[in-house]
Structure 1
């Protein structure tokens, strides 16, 4: 279960690069790993449980776009029957979500898919246009 969680969280490679592998110690506060590695370890720790639902609160912010995309694909593939809630500021992280809820100052200002929100929600459209390329705006993934 731990190895599978590490694979899904895109942590297997850097874990394998450590001499102790899965037995390697992580210092208090994770100061001996990078921010992205720390986030991937936290995600793997959550995924190692048998939860019915997972909440990732800005858990992908320190990940590069390639790792973020690979992790989201693995979550989609391996957690298909589970509820996954992702809180994110990066549009590419939630681009293919079944439902996106847009908050502005704590108020819901839009709900729907990426395509629906591009048409109906000015706040979402402004953020998306500032973060994504034309290809990504039309549903392509960040490279």
Structure 2
């Protein structure tokens, strides 16, 4: 299965200046739990936003830069090549950014969204989920607390 995973604000904001604009520790734990020991597909800017490669994951980075080779990952120049590298009988994840989500939407089987219940100024956005093509099958509300400044909901969509 090809799964898109993202934390997305009410206005579909993903981040600004290559950074998240919120901090949700439980979402980080969920992301780690779901993606560990799997292939993760991302754009170059998303990869460069990490202080180092994420442990116990195979990184596939999509870049138009011909000689881009940061080490510790596989570099390809298209979403199709990235998907082709992923094992067929295992879950693989598209983890961003905005352009890669837009390119990957047509190939995804599942979307795992953490919907942050706030709007933010941003320069990267998640594509609109078309309700004629995607069905919400699971939703789990979480409320702000001492370590989470915003209410948020885990949402799982499957392709119709």
Compare the two structures and name the one with the higher helix fraction. Answer: 1
The answer to whether the superposition gives a TM-score over 0.5 is no
Q: Given the two structures, how large is their TM-score scaled by the length of structure 2? A: 0.27
Q: Given the two structures, how large is their TM-score scaled by the length of structure 1? A: 0.29
Structure number, greater radius of gyration: 1
Tell me which of the two structures has the higher relative contact order, counting C-alpha pairs closer than 8 angstroms and 6 or more residues apart: 2
